[in-house]
């Protein structure tokens, strides 16, 4: 077979994939909000990648060895460090109480947000896929035991349960992510179980059983690919929610350690200055408004991106 015929064969084999890609792109183009979500996430991805350039870590003694620890300006007189300082050429977004640089915290906090969102969602998704697949495929007593246990987890308010787990495990960012995974996996389990219950009675699954395919092969090759779309859409929407949960835990003092680049902690540092001056309540607007904008737009971007994934992956919205 010559090179030309091999190239033609390759193009024919790639035809369905190319058409599918074109169709997915056309679905995104039809939704301006989806494009906006992609643009927002792309912007924050660039911030995360360029963090060492946009906000270079300050070495000791003014900085710390860990680049995620915010820059604390020791040049500010000690008696003035207890209050925030407005934006300036040295501190573009101003400083918090304790003279922490808000710009540095917001830029490096972008990496923290991506890290928390992705790791928690991936961990919850992996556990949910494994347990939900077993419950949905086998059913019976196994399904009953698993689903009753998930119902117990659902009985507790998610934030309260996460707080209790963090108190038991200890305050640090890794334990925050572990607690959010332990709280979040039941939702994925319930969704994937419902999808598998729908798919497992299809003719192609029965045909696979008839020819002697193992349970593992049927789940991985036939059941999972046809039931995973809903959970992927859920995961894309959950990243923003996870960042909100992590920010809330940091605001309550259960998140990252003091001085760590985290948007929730920046908001926590501003709590004493929202109405610090009754005659001029907007005097310290920058300490809570700027981190709040970062949180709001990041979560908004993931919510809009989740809508885009729904348009692409939902079989009920696809062409014939």
Domain containing 199 — which CATH number? 1.10.3720.10
Say if 144 falls within a structural domain: yes
CA distance 179 to 164: 9
Cα angle 44, 48, 52; round to 5: 140
Say if 114 falls within a structural domain: yes
Say if 203 falls within a structural domain: yes
Say if 64 falls within a structural domain: yes
Say if 141 falls within a structural domain: yes
Say if 117 falls within a structural domain: yes
49 φ/ψ angles, rounded to the nearest 5 degrees: -65, -35
Residue range(s) defining the domain that contains residue 291: 33-317
Task: Show pLDDT as tens, one digit a residue, over the chain (320 residues).
Answer: 555 565 555 455 544 556 656 666 666 666 677 788 888 999 999 999 999 999 888 665 445 667 788 877 666 766 766 777 888 888 888 888 888 888 999 999 999 999 999 999 999 999 998 898 888 888 888 888 988 999 888 888 888 899 999 988 888 888 999 999 999 999 899 888 888 888 777 777 778 778 777 777 777 777 777 777 778 788 888 898 999 999 889 888 888 888 888 998 888 888 777 766 555 666 788 888 899 999 999 999 988 887 777 766 655 555 44
| pTM of structure | 0.82
Whether 135 contacts 142, CB under 8 Å: yes
291 φ/ψ angles, rounded to the nearest 5 degrees: -60, -35
Say if 290 falls within a structural domain: yes
Counted domains in the chain: 1
Say if 3 falls within a structural domain: no
């Amino acid at each position: 077979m010559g090179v030309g015929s091999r190239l033609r064969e390759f193009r024919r084999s790639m035809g369905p994939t190319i058409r599918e890609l074109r169709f997915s792109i056309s679905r995104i183009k039809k939704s301006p909000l989806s494009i906006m979500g992609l643009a927002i996430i792309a912007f924050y991805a660039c911030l995360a990648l360029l963090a060492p350039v946009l906000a270079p870590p300050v070495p000791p003694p003014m900085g710390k060895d860990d680049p995620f620890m915010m820059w604390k300006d020791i040049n500010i007189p000690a008696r003035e460090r207890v209050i925030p300082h407005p934006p300036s050429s040295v501190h573009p977004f101003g400083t918090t109480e304790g003279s922490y640089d808000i710009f540095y915290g917001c830029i490096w906090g972008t990496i923290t947000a991506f890290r928390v969102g992705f790791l928690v969602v991936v961990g919850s998704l992996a556990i949910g896929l494994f347990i939900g697949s077993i419950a949905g495929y086998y059913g019976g007593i196994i399904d009953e035991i698993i689903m009753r246990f998930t119902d117990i987890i659902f009985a507790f308010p998610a934030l309260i349960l996460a707080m209790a787990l963090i108190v038991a495990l200890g305050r640090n960012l890794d334990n925050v992510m572990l607690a959010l995974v332990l709280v979040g996996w039941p939702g994925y389990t319930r969704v994937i179980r419902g999808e598998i219950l729908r798919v497992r009675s299809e003719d192609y699954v029965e045909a696979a059983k008839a020819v002697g395919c193992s349970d593992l092969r049927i789940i991985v090759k036939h059941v999972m690919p046809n039931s995973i779309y809903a959970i992927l859409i859920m995961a894309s929407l959950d990243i923003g929610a996870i960042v909100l949960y992590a920010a809330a835990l940091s605001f309550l003092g259960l998140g990252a350690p003091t001085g760590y680049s985290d948007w929730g902690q920046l908001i926590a540092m501003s709590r004493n200055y929202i109405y610090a001056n009754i005659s001029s309540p907007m005097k310290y607007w920058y300490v809570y408004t700027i981190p709040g904008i970062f949180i709001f737009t990041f979560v908004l971007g993931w919510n809009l991106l989740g809508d885009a994934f729904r348009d692409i992956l939902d079989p009920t919205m696809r062409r014939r």
